[in-house]
């Protein structure tokens, strides 16, 4: 599906830097300042910054680049959006689990305890909020905006998608450590990016991402 392309100027480059680097910087700061028993109020502050990144990028698309939201894959949903989003979640989990386990075992990578230690004991409502924030904000930044603008910048969809997926994986290193970031988040990012490049349906990506995070977080012991 062809979308309207942005002219790559200073505002677009700034928004692209926020989309790609903002979550990385925030995760790095959070890893240095938030302990495993940090208050929910403090953690909410960090989540609100993610929503600020989201708002800035949408503002640039609509009011600076003067492009429709369809330029980042946001369009009115139909039944196919919901069905494909849920199928994407199922396929992503089905493909990611064996690949993740194989990479961790083969390369001797550390497991997920660093990230899980900060999530156990959180109230259910906050876990749902994390899932909604992660799904909506990360898909908008790393799939909808970054993939499209990097594709315009490089002239190749696959290269734009690859760059965005790799940075998405690296962005999770501060919170989860190198092993999980490479074995899980990078694989997940590649699957989600491939689907986005195929369908250009950001809401389907969001449905899959929110569902996956919500199920995973709510199943934590």
Residue 4 lies in a domain: no
Write out pLDDT tens, residues 119-156: 777 889 999 999 999 999 999 999 999 999 999 999 99
**Over residues 63-76, mean pLDDT:** 95
Contact status, residue 187 vs residue 100, Cβ threshold 8 Å: yes
How far apart, in whole angstroms, are the C-alpha atoms of residue 145 and residue 154?
14
Write out pLDDT tens, residues 174-201: 877 777 777 778 889 999 999 999 999 9
Residue 2 lies in a domain: no
Q: What local confidence, expressed as pLDDT, does residue 96 receive?
A: 80
For 7, 118, 137, 196, the CA distances from 40, given in Å and listed in that order, are 41, 11, 19, 33
How far apart, in whole angstroms, are the C-alpha atoms of residue 209 and residue 205?
6
Q: What local confidence, expressed as pLDDT, does residue 186 receive?
A: 87
List, as own/partner pairs, every contact residues 86-89 make where C-beta atoms lie below 8 angstroms and the sequence separation is at least 24, other chains included.
86/207, 86/208, 86/211, 88/191, 88/192, 88/195, 88/204, 88/205, 88/207, 88/208, 89/207, 89/208, 89/209, 89/211, 89/212
Residue 95: band (very low, low, confident or very high) from pLDDT cuts 50, 70, 90: confident
How far apart, in whole angstroms, are the C-alpha atoms of residue 50 and residue 29?
13
Residue 97: band (very low, low, confident or very high) from pLDDT cuts 50, 70, 90: confident
Q: What local confidence, expressed as pLDDT, does residue 113 receive?
A: 64
With 0-12 / 13-18 / 19 or more C-beta atoms within 10 angstroms meaning exposed / middle / buried, residue 147 is: buried
**Over residues 78-96, mean pLDDT:** 91
Q: Over 50: is that where the pLDDT of 2 sits?
A: no
Residue 212 lies in a domain: yes
Residue 3 lies in a domain: no
Residue 214: band (very low, low, confident or very high) from pLDDT cuts 50, 70, 90: very high
Write out pLDDT tens, residues 15-59: 999 999 999 999 889 878 876 667 888 889 999 999 999 999 999
The tally of domains found in the chain comes to 1
Q: Over 80: is that where the pLDDT of 116 sits?
A: no
Q: What local confidence, expressed as pLDDT, does residue 36 receive?
A: 61
Residue 1 lies in a domain: no
Residue 105 lies in a domain: yes
- The structure tokens 């259910």 sit at 124
The residue range of the domain holding 25 is 10-218
């Amino acid at each position: 599906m062809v979308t309207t392309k942005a002219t790559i100027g200073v505002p677009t480059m700034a928004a692209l830097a926020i989309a790609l680097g903002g979550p990385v910087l925030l995760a790095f700061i959070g890893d240095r300042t938030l302990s495993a028993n940090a208050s929910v109020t403090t953690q909410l502050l960090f989540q609100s910054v993610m929503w600020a990144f989201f708002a800035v990028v949408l503002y640039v698309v609509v009011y600076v680049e003067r492009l429709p939201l369809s330029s980042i894959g946001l369009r009115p949903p139909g039944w196919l959006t919901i069905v494909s989003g849920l199928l994407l979640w199922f396929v992503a989990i089905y493909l990611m689990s064996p690949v993740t386990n194989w990479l961790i075992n083969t390369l001797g990578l550390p497991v997920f305890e660093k990230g899980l230690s900060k999530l156990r004991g959180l109230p259910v409502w906050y876990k749902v909020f994390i899932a909604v924030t992660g799904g909506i904000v990360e898909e908008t930044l790393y799939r909808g905006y970054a993939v499209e603008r990097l594709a315009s910048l490089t002239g190749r969809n696959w290269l734009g998608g690859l760059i965005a997926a790799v940075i998405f994986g690296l962005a999770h290193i501060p919170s989860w450590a190198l092993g999980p970031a490479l074995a899980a988040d990078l694989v997940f990012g590649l699957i989600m990016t491939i689907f986005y490049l195929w369908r250009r349906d950001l809401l389907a990506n969001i449905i899959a991402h929110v569902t996956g995070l919500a199920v995973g977080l709510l199943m934590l012991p």
